[in-house]
Amino acid sequence: MSNLNDLFEKNKQWAKEIVDGDAKFFERLKEQQTPNYLWIGCSDSRVPPNTILALPPGEIFVHRNIANLVVHSDLNCLSVMQYAVEVLKVEHIIVCGHYGCGGVKAALGSQNYGLIDNWLRHIKDVKRFNDKHLEGLEGEERVNRLCELNVIEQVKNVRDTTIVKDAKQQGATLSVHGLIYDLGTGHLKELDTNA
């Protein structure tokens, strides 16, 4: 006996609504996916990419982790990127952070959270690289500025991968963007990642 009945009900209702609007939707999608975007975002439940972009299944390839990090040696993230770029041939890689990110907040503090502290070390590194941009900022402003700086840093990491470098060298149409999402308004904005 499942205790996920609410979820199954919602799923059945959702699939029915889609088929009611487009009878062949799932049949078509079953054959292949042709997403044009790779989304690298935070695991935060309030930032679900398809929902905030109003995109149906099939439109966006997704990798999420705490604080939307692209770590040079993270085989999980790198494998997603390689597949997206080399097989799916996405034309846009989007790194999307969000203001008020819990991972970023935690990295600014000194509390011990156990295993995850090892992951948060990467954000502490971003803070160290960018200390001068955080000078004089306190509280929420400091957290939110580091959220932006973290996105900019992760965009650099994406651009520095062999995956993106090789694709560019081979003439692929591929651009990397840094976005930030405002939990309080639901709006996205693009950050300047070329500075």
Which one among 35, 38, 40, 44 touches Co ion, defined by CB under 5 A? 44
Which token pair is 15?
A: 């699939």
Only segment of 44-52, 84-92, 118-126, 174-182 that touches Co ion (CB under 5 A)? 44-52
Q: Please identify which residue in the block is written with the tokens 């693009």.
A: 190
Which one among 40, 42, 107, 167 touches Co ion, defined by CB under 5 A? 42
Q: How far is the CB of 71 from Co ion (least distance, A)?
A: 15
Active site residues: 42, 44, 46, 98, 101
Return the number of the residue (68 or 174) whose C-beta is nearest Co ion. Answer: 68
String marking each residue 78-117 x if it binds Co ion according to CB under 5 A: -----------------------x----------------
Q: How far is the CB of 178 from Co ion (least distance, A)?
A: 15
Q: Please report, to the nearest 10 degrees, the dihedral formed by the alpha carbons of residues 45, 77, 182, 141 taken in order.
A: 110
Q: Does 146 bind Co ion (CB under 5 A)?
A: no
Report how far residue 109's alpha carbon sits from residue 35's, in angstroms, rounded to the nearest whole number: 38
Whether the Cβ atoms of residue 104 and residue 67 lie closer than 8 Å to each other: yes
Q: Are strands 175-182 and 187-190 parallel, antiparallel or unpaired?
A: antiparallel
Q: How far is the CB of 66 from Co ion (least distance, A)?
A: 7
Which token pair is 78?
A: 């790198």
Q: Please identify which residue in the block is written with the tokens 């097989």.
A: 87
Q: Please identify which residue in the block is written with the tokens 């952070």.
A: 97
Q: How far is the CB of 182 from Co ion (least distance, A)?
A: 13
Q: Please report, to the nearest 10 degrees, the dihedral formed by the alpha carbons of residues 149, 151, 152, 158 taken in order.
A: 150
Return the number of the residue (42 or 81) whose C-beta is nearest Co ion. Answer: 42
Tell me the number of residues near Co ion by CB under 5 A. 3
Binding-site ranges for Co ion (CB under 5 A): 42, 44, 101
